[in-house]
Amino acid sequence: MQRSQRFKNSLYLTLLFVCVMWWVKLGELFWGWDLSVFGVKPLELSGLFGIVAAPLIHGSVSHIFSNTLPTLILGTLLLYGYPKSRFKVITIVWLLSGIGVWCFARHATHIGASGLSHGIFFFLLVASILRRDKRSVAIMMIVFLLYGSMTMTIFPREEHISFEYHFFGAMAGTICAFLFYRDDPKPRIKPYRWENTQEEDDPVIGDQWKLPSQREHEQHTQQSHSQSDDFIPVKAVNDEHHHALRHRDRHGH
């Protein structure tokens, strides 16, 4: 698949998820739903369902607005840059961040997709450090330029913001980076014409620029190659001689 088409598919798939988020919020507004009851409630059995549902639920229009663009951009870059591991990363970040909130967060109702977006951000950041190929580093530079402040929002700031969701999302994304950074093959490096991997001797000074041990090794290698070209195994000579004798005996010559 061409890169442009793969990017479009990644964008459309992430946009579909964002549309589901907005459909849930618009349903709350038009039909008077209160879906916050399905958020993560730490250490309560009724809050376990929120591990699955909470990233789709937002408290206000401003809340979902603040999560829309980061989710769209980070999700698209994840789907595009890591086609082999992308769905494993999303699943683990989604579930592990919710489990961490349910086990250790403050007693409140935790909702929103910010835990997911923080997990994707930290995955892209750590995976690029581990891989160090052009594509992953380019993606990392884009996301860090846009959302580098996420490295600070994993700490407590405001009482009504679930920093726990940010923190455990970041931890889940980091774990995924160490688990899956090898899954996606690195893009092939295209060599330039002017690149020459073999060093040639200077026409004036010859091979005098090389170390003595290096010159001796090359001379020994050349001699062994020339000897192997002229060498005929004794066994092969004997086999040919016996074959000629059998041929003479058989025909009486």
CB 165 within 8 A of CB 122: no
Report the 10 Å Cβ neighbour count for 9.
15
pLDDT higher at 118 or 159: 118
Measured CA angle at 150 (ends 140, 28), to 5 deg: 115
The residue type found at 158 is E
The reported pLDDT for the residue numbered 2 is 79
pLDDT higher at 224 or 250: 224
pLDDT surpasses 80 at 4: yes
Which letter does DSSP use for residue 153 in this model? T
Computed on alpha carbons and rounded to an integer, the radius of gyration of the chain in Å comes to 32
The reported pLDDT for the residue numbered 220 is 72
Residue with tokens 């920093």: 163
pLDDT digit string, tens, across residues 78-94: 999 999 999 999 999 99
Report the 10 Å Cβ neighbour count for 152.
9
CA distance 61 to 56: 13
- Quote the percentage of the chain above a pLDDT of 90: 69
pLDDT surpasses 70 at 169: yes
The reported pLDDT for the residue numbered 188 is 75
pLDDT surpasses 70 at 173: yes
Q: How confident is the model at residue 215 (pLDDT cuts 50, 70, 90)?
A: low
Residues contacting residue 106 through CB under 8 Å, at least 6 positions apart? 42, 164
CA distance 134 to 114: 27
Structural domains of the chain, ranges and CATH numbers in brackets: 3-180 (1.20.1540.10), 212-251 (no CATH)
Which letter does DSSP use for residue 133 in this model? -
The reported pLDDT for the residue numbered 158 is 86
pLDDT higher at 37 or 228: 37
Point out which residues pair with 40 in neighbouring strands: 110
**84 token code pair:** 């082999």
pLDDT digit string, tens, across residues 71-80: 999 999 999 9
**48 token code pair:** 């376990």
The reported pLDDT for the residue numbered 224 is 65
Residues contacting residue 131 through CB under 8 Å, at least 6 positions apart? 137, 181, 186
The reported pLDDT for the residue numbered 204 is 47
Beta strand spans in 6-91 (E): none
The reported pLDDT for the residue numbered 237 is 45
Q: How confident is the model at residue 211 (pLDDT cuts 50, 70, 90)?
A: low
Q: How confident is the model at residue 195 (pLDDT cuts 50, 70, 90)?
A: low
Backbone angles phi, psi at 193, to 5 degrees: -65, -35
What's the chain's average pLDDT? Answer: 85
Backbone angles phi, psi at 210, to 5 degrees: -85, 160
